[in-house]
Amino acid sequence: MWEYTDKVKEHFLNPKNVGEMKDATAVGEVGSIACGDALKLFLKIEDGVIQDASFQTFGCASAIASSSALTELVKGKSVDEALKISNKDIAAALGGLPKEKMHCSVMGQEALEAAIKTWRGEKVSSMEHSEGEIVCECFGVTDHQILEAVRENDLKTVEDVTYYTKAGGGCAKCHEKIGELIAQARGEAKPVPAPAPKRLTNIQRMRMIEEVLEKEIRPRLQLDGGDIELADIEGMLVSVSLRGRCTNCPSSQATVHGVVETILREKVDPEIQVREV
């Protein structure tokens, strides 16, 4: 048996804002009876503010509770504020959900997004997610949804993705693809091999050093109240002088070599040496 919080039980046994809203100005529909849960969210939006919300849900206790909590969360919020509500906020309003049931909170967020999109006149297909390509055919989940769920909730495994989006919960054929999407979203994807470096001319190298110093290194040092100035470039030897707080900073040497040299070597040429003047 699931361990539901008292808030989940309360929202399930006495759901708030149940039923169709005749004068709704926005309706969002997600899920289907085949998938085992579906939510139809009704909003009354006036002057950019959600005045009223109601829902109809087919699904388990946590799906009904998530829907009920969602309607309470959005009431009185501006459309822009409402769009910031994430599935985590819905789960938090319920005092948490079992991880296997997190997809119920995701469904709430998706219905809210869909409702606001229709209100704004953007095109939403009610049964299918219009964005991205279907990855999980069993539950009709797209790559966009999976990437978003991984980023929003810091998901690490295929199992996590299944709990949050249902993707991969059927025939398991898409597990490999989900694994790749997790890696992609977490920035762990194998980097595309860089093209063989071209030999830079002196002029090209000097321009690149200037550019990298200006755009990447200075802003970092400025964050710490310091600054850097380029003094000279002779071949691979780059002379710089530190300004501001960096001058008396005991770790300025480390700063120069640790940050400046590393970045220049990475971005321009691995043979670069940095000297402080």
Partner 1 sequence: MTTPVIYMDNNATTRVAPEVLEAMLPFFSERYGNPSSMHSFGGAVGREMREARESLAYLLGCGTDEIVFTSCGTEADNTAIRSALAAQPEKRHIVTTRVEHPAILSLCKFLERSQGYRVTYLGVDSEGRLNMKELEDSLTDDTAIVSIMWANNETGVIFPIPEIAKLARSRGIIMHTDAVQAVGKIPISLKDLDVDMLALSGHKLHAPKGIGALYVRRKLPYRPFLIGGHQEHGRRAGTENTTGIIALGAAARAAKAHIPVENTTVRGLRDKLENALLAAVPDSRLNGHKADRLPNTSNISFKYVEGEAILLLLDQLGIAASSGSACTSGSLEPSHVLRAMGVPFTYAHGSIRFSLSRYTTEADVDFVIKNVPGIIETLRKISPYKQGAPDPLSPLDTKPACGC
**Nearest of 73, 76, 113 to residue 91 by alpha carbon:** 73
Minimum distance between the CB of residue 119 and partner 1, rounded to whole angstroms?
Answer: 19
Question: Using CB under 8 A, which of 114, 140, 160, 246 touches partner 1?
Answer: 140
Query: Does 176 interact with partner 1 (rule: CB under 8 A)?
Result: no
CB atoms within 10 A of CB 135: 24
In the chain the first and final C-alpha atoms are separated, in Å, by 70
Minimum distance between the CB of residue 97 and partner 1, rounded to whole angstroms?
Answer: 12
Identify any residues that bridge with 29 across adjacent strands, giving them in sequence order: 40
Minimum distance between the CB of residue 100 and partner 1, rounded to whole angstroms?
Answer: 5
Question: Using CB under 8 A, which of 10, 72, 89, 100 touches partner 1?
Answer: 100
Instruction: Give the residue with the Cβ less far from partner 1, 58 or 81.
Output: 58
Query: Does 205 interact with partner 1 (rule: CB under 8 A)?
Result: no
Query: Does 63 interact with partner 1 (rule: CB under 8 A)?
Result: yes
Minimum distance between the CB of residue 264 and partner 1, rounded to whole angstroms?
Answer: 51
Question: Using CB under 8 A, which of 7, 10, 61, 244 touches partner 1?
Answer: 61
Instruction: Give the residue with the Cβ less far from partner 1, 12 or 119.
Output: 12
Query: In the chain, how many H helices and how many E strands?
Result: 12, 8
Residue 85 to residue 93: CA distance in whole angstroms: 11
Residue 117 half-sphere exposure toward CB, CA atoms < 13 A: 17
Three-state DSSP class for residue 141:
strand
Q: 35 an active-site residue?
A: yes
Query: Does 112 interact with partner 1 (rule: CB under 8 A)?
Result: no
Query: Does 246 interact with partner 1 (rule: CB under 8 A)?
Result: no
Where do runs of H (alpha helix) occur along the chain? 6-13, 61-74, 79-83, 87-93, 102-119, 143-153, 158-165, 175-185, 202-212, 218-223, 252-254, 262-267
CB atoms within 10 A of CB 191: 7
Q: Which two tokens stand for residue 224?
A: 């710490």
Minimum distance between the CB of residue 36 and partner 1, rounded to whole angstroms?
Answer: 5
Instruction: Give the residue with the Cβ less far from partner 1, 99 or 245.
Output: 99
60-68, 149-157, 229-237, 243-251 -> range binding partner 1 (CB under 8 A): 60-68
Query: Does 37 interact with partner 1 (rule: CB under 8 A)?
Result: yes
Residue 257 to residue 159: CA distance in whole angstroms: 43
Query: Does 13 interact with partner 1 (rule: CB under 8 A)?
Result: yes
Q: 171 an active-site residue?
A: no
Three-state DSSP class for residue 106:
helix
What residues line the site for partner 1 (CB under 8 A)?
1, 12-13, 15, 18-19, 29, 32-40, 56-61, 63-64, 100-101, 127-128, 137-140, 162, 166, 169-171, 173
